[in-house]
Amino acid sequence: MGTDLRACWHQSIAEIPQAAWRDLVEPHDLPHFSWDWLHCLEISGTIAPRHGWQSCHLSLWRHQELIAVAPLYLKAHSYGEFVFDQPFAQVAGQLGLVYYPKLLGMSPLTPALGYRFFMAPGEDHGALTQLMLKLVDDLCQRNGILSANFLYVDSDWAGLAEQAGCATWIQLRSQWSRNGQGHFTDYLAGFNANQRRNIKRERRAVMGSGISLMPMAGDQIPPGMLQQMHGFYSAHCARWGPWGSKYLTEGFFQLAEQRLRQHLVLFSAHQGDPCSPVAMSLCLRNGRQLWGRYWGSHVEVSGLHFETCYYSPIAWALDQGIEEFDPGAGGSHKQRRGFQAEPFPCLHRWFDSTLDQLLRAWLPQANRHLMEKINAMNGEMPFRCLP
C-alpha cells in the first residue's frame, strides 16, 4: 500500500463520517447501503454481536479524504443472509476446520443486489479492489477466519473481484421488469389467457372481501404506520415459530419512521380506513427500482398476500415509472406472477488450501446446474411469449 494511503477497520459505521460515506455510496442509488440504513440497523440492536453480527467495515483514506469503503460484518452463523452456505460449513467440518466466524459483505438482512466496494470517482477501481481484498485476506489470516464472502454482488464489480481471485457462486433471484409496460392492463396482457383469469380471480377475491389497497410512500406515510408494520411483521414471523426469522427490532421501525421514510413504500390493505389496515407490506425504493421486504396480515383472505406483495406494488411501480421490482427471497409462486428467474453472483475467498481447492472444483458444476434450473423455470412461465 502506498505511503499516501491509510486503511482502517471499524466496529461501527458511526466511526466513518456520514457525509464522506454518502459521497461514495449515493451515486449508486442503493438505499440499503446508505449510512442511515446501516446505522439504524446497528443502533436499534438489530445488528449486534449478541445476534451474531459484528460490524467490521473497511475504509481506505488518501491523507484526510475517504476514497473507498467496504461494508463488512463478522458473522457467527449464516442466518439472515438468504444465501445458504451450510454445505460449505459441512465440508469445513469434515476437514476439521472451524467455519465460524466468517467475514461477510452484504446489506444485513436485505437480499438485494448491489454489493461492491464503494470507491471515489477517478480512482483505479481495479487496483483498489485488489488492495482492499489483500487487506481482507490479511485480516482473515491474522485472526484465523476461514472465509470472506460477498453476497448479492453488483455485476460490474464482480468482474474486478474475480480478476483479484474471488470464486463465483451463482444464485437465483426473481425480478419483474417493466419492459415497456405502461399500465396494469399491459402487465396482464403479457400472460396467457389462463393466467390472466387466475390473476383477475385473485384480485376479485380481495375486493369481494371488502378490502382495498392504498400505497403510502415517503412523506405520505402517516405517523405510527411503521409501528403498525412492525406488528404485522412480528405476527407473521411468529406464525412460523422457530423458523420465523424475526430479525428486525421494534427500534428499527421507530428509527425508520424518523430517518428512512424517503426510501419506504407501505401498501395498506384496509376495510375503510387506510390507517387501520388488516394487512400491510413494506417495500424499499430508489428512483428506478422497488424491493419487496416484509408483510403481515391479521385476516385470512384468498389472494391477499399476492395483492399486497405483488399486484399492488406492480401497479404502483408502473404508475411511478419504476423499471424493476425485486419481490424478495424465496417463493416459486413468483414466476407465475411475472417475476422471471435471474442469476446473480456471490463471491468467496477461503483461507485453507484444501477447502479452497474442493469448493472451487465443485462450483462450475453447481453453477451450471443452477443456470439449467433458471432456464427451466423461465421456460414454464405463463407468458404469451417471453420478452
Average pLDDT over residues 118-132: 97
The verdict on residue 387 lying in a domain is: no
185 plus 158 within the same structural domain = no
Percent of the chain with pLDDT over 70: 98
What is the C-alpha end-to-end distance of the chain, expressed in Å? 48
CA 303, CA 316: separation in Å to the nearest integer? 18
Taking all residues of the chain, what is their mean pLDDT, rounded to a whole number?
Answer: 95
Tell me the pLDDT tens digit for each residue of 6-61.
999 999 999 999 999 999 999 999 999 999 999 999 999 999 999 999 999 999 99
pLDDT of residue 331: 72
CA 334, CA 338: separation in Å to the nearest integer? 7
33 plus 127 within the same structural domain = yes
CA 269, CA 193: separation in Å to the nearest integer? 27
134 plus 211 within the same structural domain = no
Q: Inform me whether the pLDDT recorded for 1 exceeds 80.
A: no
CA 292, CA 264: separation in Å to the nearest integer? 10
Sole residue written with cell 475517504: 66
The verdict on residue 328 lying in a domain is: no
Cα-Cα-Cα-Cα torsion 138, 142, 147, 149, nearest 10 degrees, comes to -50
For the sheet with 73-75, list strands across it.
53-55, 73-75, 102-105, 147-150, 340-350, 167-177, 324-326, 289-297, 279-285, 264-270, 212-217
153 plus 199 within the same structural domain = no
135 plus 225 within the same structural domain = no
List all residues 6 or more positions away from 3 whose beta carbon is below 8 Å from its beta carbon.
Answer: none
119 plus 150 within the same structural domain = yes
133 plus 213 within the same structural domain = no
What Rg do the C-alpha atoms of the chain give, in angstroms?
Answer: 22
Q: pTM (2 decimals)?
A: 0.96
Cα-Cα-Cα-Cα torsion 96, 101, 105, 107, nearest 10 degrees, comes to 130
86 plus 210 within the same structural domain = no
Burial classification of residue 119, based on how many CB atoms lie within 10 Å of its CB (0-12 exposed, 13-18 middle, 19 or more buried): buried
Judge whether 337 and 199 are in contact, CB under 8 Å: yes
Average pLDDT over residues 360-379: 96
184 plus 283 within the same structural domain = yes
pLDDT of residue 387: 47
The verdict on residue 338 lying in a domain is: no
Question: How many domains are contained in the chain?
Answer: 2
Tell me the pLDDT tens digit for each residue of 248-258.
999 999 999 99
pLDDT of residue 146: 98
145 plus 9 within the same structural domain = yes
Q: Inform me whether the pLDDT recorded for 343 exceeds 70.
A: yes
CA 59, CA 67: separation in Å to the nearest integer? 8
> In terms of residue numbers, what domain contains 263?
179-322
58 plus 205 within the same structural domain = no
* Residue 66 belongs to domain with CATH number: 3.40.630.30
Q: Hey, which residues does 177 pair with through a beta bridge?
A: 324
37 plus 120 within the same structural domain = yes
Q: Inform me whether the pLDDT recorded for 185 exceeds 80.
A: yes
